[in-house]
Structure 1
Amino acid sequence: MVHGAWADGSSWNQVIAPLQAGSLDVIAAPLPLTSLSEDVTALEHAIERTQGPVVLAAHAYAGAVISATRNERVKSLVYVSALAPDEGETVADVFYREPPHPEAPQLVPDEHGLIWMPADGFASAFAQHASPKQNALFAATQRPIAVACIQEGVQRPAWKEKPSWFLIAEEDRMINPATQQFMAERMGAKIHSEKVDHMPLVTAPELVVEIILEAMGPARP
């Protein structure tokens, strides 16, 4: 499990628990969110802690991170309302491909080059289907993403060779659903399109679990 911006590995808790209940080995890769290259390195270090075939599941920004893996043990890729730049593109290129939702927050870097989510952005756009308590926790525990993460061009993405799945969040107010549809079709992914918000791993975890289990097919011996 690979988390996106303004989050950490705990954002996957409601997906991890049922997978573990099915006797699967699951870990959440901690990303520093300092640059795309450094995040890819952090993912590779997490993969080194595993054995056997691997399925990578990414949320949002982390789609670019899992796309950069070169590990031969990675058999499938799962994109959950994620970003998947093609070779030579940046995360910003695809994120800003379509006009933002009217409720989308204004994202401006601070003097340190870090982008923080405005506190009210969690309830209005990040996870509008989550409870007020959940969104208050998101705001309190958010981790900023560095501008460098979204400005680095990607190399040839792994989805050109590895089977991929994509959950399109039809009610996403952060990443335009039309952009998600474009990326999913471009990569030739197995597409699931549902009326969920940007954070289905929290607001509709059963859907995410179902897709991950489906993606395990190529990873089974």
Structure 2
Amino acid sequence: MHGAWHTGRAWDGVAAGLRARGVAVAVAELHRGSLAADTAAAETALDQLTEAGPAIVCGHSYGGAVITGLPPHKIDHLVYLAAMMPDRGETALGLLASAPATDLGTSMIGDPAGTTTIDPEAAGGLFHAQLGEEERARHAAELVPQLMAPGRQPTTGAAWHHRPSTYVLCTEDRVMHPDLQGRFATRATHALTWRSDHGAFASHEKETVGLLHRLATGSRLTPAD
């Protein structure tokens, strides 16, 4: 599940890589106006995959709050990619506020109580500092306005209490402070550390595909993953 200001297109490369390996993929489009509506959209996408049994779900950034609210019985494993991993009653924006400040705050344009966009001059470096200039600009051009209300709405269920999870901590993240990610990593069953910017699905596309493929095919994770 994509993060704030992104769309499902952010996952095009990872989805193509998984499909090339024979893994079925469904990508949800969020921005439905509320955390509950985004979670419902994610569940609809998940239902495309669960005829064969519980699926692997992956959330990036705000998308982590979305996958956290999915029904545990439909999930085999949760993957949090530089993502929010809230417990019941916690909010994405509240968790961000509890951590050291990052460049995100100074890059937002608009009313944080309503809708915001990301400064186009800052977007590439904020999300995709490790990409080349052309790829950075392409991803930045795909960003959309973000209604902030879902980030203030509390999580009502936490699937990671019931199903195994992997947290991928990205040490070069300029959006979600690595200290906050470290707190989330202690909640997960398994934790990995990548020297990645926030947009690990792009800068570490090969590693993301490999991780999800191993989980989808039942391969055991090791500390080297």
TM-score w.r.t. length of structure 2: 0.88
SS in 2 for 1:213: helix
CA distance 1:18–1:124, shift in 2 (3 Å):
closer
CA distance 1:76–1:158, shift in 2 (3 Å):
same
> Separation in 1 of the partners of 2:2 and 2:104?
22
Runs of 4+ in 1 over 6 A off after TM superposition: none
SS in 2 for 1:136: helix
> Separation in 1 of the partners of 2:106 and 2:121?
8
> Separation in 2 of the partners of 1:111 and 1:193?
30
> Separation in 1 of the partners of 2:3 and 2:117?
13
The corresponding residue for 1:9 is 8
SS in 2 for 1:75: strand
**Structure 1 letter corresponding to 2:98:** R
SS in 2 for 1:214: helix
The corresponding residue for 2:174 is 173
CA distance 1:119–1:202, shift in 2 (3 Å):
same
CA distance 1:161–1:35, shift in 2 (3 Å):
same
**Structure 2 letter corresponding to 1:188:** A
- Counterparts of 1:1-221 in structure 2, within 5 Å, are 2-50=1-49, 51-52=51-52, 53-70=54-71, 72-101=73-102, 105-110=106-111, 113-185=114-186, 187-216=187-216
Asked if the contact 2:86–2:155 (Cα under 8 Å) also holds between the matched residues in 1, the reply is yes
> Separation in 2 of the partners of 1:153 and 1:61?
13
User: Displacement, 1:135?
Assistant: 2.5
**Structure 2 letter corresponding to 1:69:** L
> Separation in 2 of the partners of 1:44 and 1:21?
24
Asked if the contact 2:124–2:139 (Cα under 8 Å) also holds between the matched residues in 1, the reply is no
The Cα offsets for residues 50-105 of structure 1, whole Å up to 9 and x where unpaired, read as 32221101111000000000152211100101011111110011122222235763
**Structure 1 letter corresponding to 2:37:** E
User: Displacement, 1:189?
Assistant: 2.8
CA distance 1:55–1:127, shift in 2 (3 Å):
same
CA distance 1:33–1:198, shift in 2 (3 Å):
farther
**Structure 2 letter corresponding to 1:202:** A
Q: Which runs of 5+ in 2 are unaligned?
A: 220-225
> Separation in 1 of the partners of 2:59 and 2:138?
21
CA distance 1:4–1:102, shift in 2 (3 Å):
closer
SS in 1 for 2:168: strand
Asked if the contact 1:76–1:218 (Cα under 8 Å) also holds between the matched residues in 2, the reply is no
> Separation in 2 of the partners of 1:88 and 1:111?
21
Asked if the contact 1:104–1:125 (Cα under 8 Å) also holds between the matched residues in 2, the reply is no
Asked if the contact 2:110–2:117 (Cα under 8 Å) also holds between the matched residues in 1, the reply is yes
The Cα offsets for residues 155-178 of structure 1, whole Å up to 9 and x where unpaired, read as 131001110011110000000011
CA distance 1:99–1:116, shift in 2 (3 Å):
same
Of the structure 1 ranges 209-218 and 47-56, higher mean CA displacement relative to structure 2 is found in: 209-218
User: Displacement, 1:217?
Assistant: 5.7
CA distance 1:108–1:74, shift in 2 (3 Å):
same
SS in 1 for 2:135: helix
SS in 2 for 1:165: strand
